[in-house]
């Protein structure tokens, strides 16, 4: 009977030792990238993403944030104008091409929204100038770290010489951080859930500019967390009255009975950076603007701090 223990007789102990040292099994567990990528290690990866961003923000002294959401496709006026010119030339060259005509219409619509890039940039500059004086890191601007409105938010803080945060995420298509984020506060997440948690964990306010699915997702999740008392109320400003009143019929939802009329007070629709900042300031000064009569009692009094429970 042939023995199950077989080896190449020409294989030396020295060669075998080299294989041992090169084997991933010999790596320390925390150095084994292959191990960390296994499905069984997902809970560990989630924990690492949670802890890393938390520790680094603590070390940088981040006390509170203002999170700014908005579309990645909303660009500054100069770039928007160039895109309209390009789309117009293509439409002129292909008068029967319905897609070229559609692309021109979209480019023109985005050009109209370029002012929100400026509003986001000005709001971030205003907040950073007022709240990072004296060395304390209050109301630090945090964005999703990408282009568009996110870039505008980080850029406004950059203009003020202030620290700001970018929380990027790996996507099926290439995404790079915008160049205005404080390097020590630029994070990259794999899990949306952990990224969402960190976006709101220190938030004293949330400002939403016009955007797409991602912006709407963050808006309704934030509203749900507040409505269900998973976090204490924070001011939620929706900048862009024409956009927000058309894309969501708030009064219709309340009239249909699927939300309470009081829930309409969870959002404040406005049109400028100054109006958004005024609402944020008034909210934190006036308890009457905070929805929920016995909120502290329902959430356990002093057991909860502002932010997520």
Q: What is 53-74+114-303's CATH number, 3.40.50.450, 3.30.2130.30, 3.40.50.10480, 3.30.420.40? A: 3.40.50.450
Round to whole Å and give the CA distance between 182 and 65. 14
Structure tokens, 44: 């560990």
- Where do the structural domains in the chain lie, given as residue ranges? 53-74+114-303, 76-112
Round to whole Å and give the CA distance between 203 and 276. 15
User: What is the pTM assigned to this prediction?
Assistant: 0.87
User: In this structure, how many other beta carbons lie within 10 angstroms of the beta carbon of residue 181?
Assistant: 27
Place of tokens 């009255």: 241
Question: Is the distance from CB of 235 to CB of 284 less than 8 angstroms?
Answer: yes
Residue 301 carries which DSSP code?
A: G
Written as tens digits, the pLDDT of the chain (309 aa) is 555 667 677 788 888 899 899 999 999 998 999 999 999 999 999 999 999 999 999 999 999 999 999 999 999 989 999 999 999 999 888 988 889 999 999 999 999 999 999 999 999 999 999 998 777 899 999 999 999 999 999 999 999 999 999 999 998 776 789 999 999 999 999 999 999 999 999 999 999 999 999 999 999 999 999 999 999 899 999 999 999 999 999 999 999 999 999 999 999 999 999 999 999 999 987 665 554 444 454 455 443 344 565
H or E stretch covering 187 = strand 186-189
Q: In the prediction, which pLDDT does 287 show?
A: 60
- Among 178, 211, 167, 189, smallest CA distance to 67 is for 167
- Among 150, 157, 152, 127, smallest CA distance to 166 is for 150
Q: How far is CA 34 from CA 28, 51, 99, in A?
A: 12, 20, 45
Question: Is the distance from CB of 233 to CB of 296 less than 8 angstroms?
Answer: no
HSE-up (13 A, CA, CB side) for residue 148: 21
Place of tokens 């976006």: 199
Please report which residue ranges of the chain form alpha helices under DSSP H: 13-22, 33-36, 42-60, 77-93, 98-112, 114-131, 149-159, 192-201, 213-227, 241-247, 250-255, 273-285, 295-298
Length of the chain: 309
- Among 106, 103, 108, smallest CA distance to 77 is for 108
Q: In the prediction, which pLDDT does 281 show?
A: 92
Q: In the prediction, which pLDDT does 97 show?
A: 87
Instruction: Calculate Rg over the CA atoms of the chain.
Output: 25
Burial grade of 286 (CB within 10 A; 0-12, 13-18, 19 or more): exposed
Q: In the prediction, which pLDDT does 303 show?
A: 36
Q: In the prediction, which pLDDT does 307 show?
A: 58
Round to whole Å and give the CA distance between 62 and 227. 26
Structure tokens, 270: 């406005």
- Among 177, 165, 118, smallest CA distance to 141 is for 165
Round to whole Å and give the CA distance between 275 and 270. 6
- Among 118, 72, 80, smallest CA distance to 213 is for 72
Task: Collect all residues with Cβ–Cβ distance below 8 Å to 62 and sequence separation of at least 6.
Answer: 137, 140, 163, 165, 185, 202
């Amino acid at each position: 009977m042939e023995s199950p223990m077989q080896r190449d007789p020409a294989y030396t102990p020295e060669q075998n030792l080299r294989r041992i040292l090169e084997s991933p099994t010999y790596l320390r567990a925390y150095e084994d990238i292959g191990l960390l990528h296994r499905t069984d290690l997902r809970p560990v990866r989630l924990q690492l993403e949670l802890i890393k961003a938390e520790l680094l923000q603590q070390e940088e002294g981040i006390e509170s944030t203002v999170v700014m959401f908005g579309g990645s496709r909303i660009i500054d006026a100069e770039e928007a104008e160039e895109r309209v010119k390009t789309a117009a030339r293509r439409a002129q060259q292909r008068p029967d091409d319905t897609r070229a005509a559609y692309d021109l219409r979209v480019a023109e619509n985005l050009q109209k929204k370029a002012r929100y890039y400026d509003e986001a940039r000005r709001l971030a500059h205003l907040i950073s100038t007022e709240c990072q004086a004296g060395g304390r890191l209050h109301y630090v601007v945090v964005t999703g770290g990408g282009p568009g409105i996110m870039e505008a938010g980080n850029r406004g803080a950059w203009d003020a010489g202030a620290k700001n945060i970018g929380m990027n995420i790996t996507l099926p298509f290439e995404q790079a951080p915008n160049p205005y984020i404080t390097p020590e506060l630029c994070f990259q997440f794999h899990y949306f859930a952990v990224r969402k948690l960190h976006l709101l964990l220190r938030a004293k306010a949330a400002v939403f500019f016009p955007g797409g699915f991602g912006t709407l997702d963050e808006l309704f999740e934030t509203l749900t967390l507040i409505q269900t008392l998973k976090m204490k109320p924070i001011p939620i400003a929706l900048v862009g009255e024409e956009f927000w009143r058309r894309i969501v019929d708030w009064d219709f939802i309340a009239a249909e009975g699927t939300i309470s009329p009081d829930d309409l007070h969870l959002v404040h629709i406005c049109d400028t950076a100054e109006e958004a900042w005024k609402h944020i300031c008034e909210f934190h000064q006036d308890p009457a603007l905070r929805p929920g009569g016995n909120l502290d009692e329902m959430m356990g009094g002093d057991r909860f701090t502002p932010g997520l429970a």
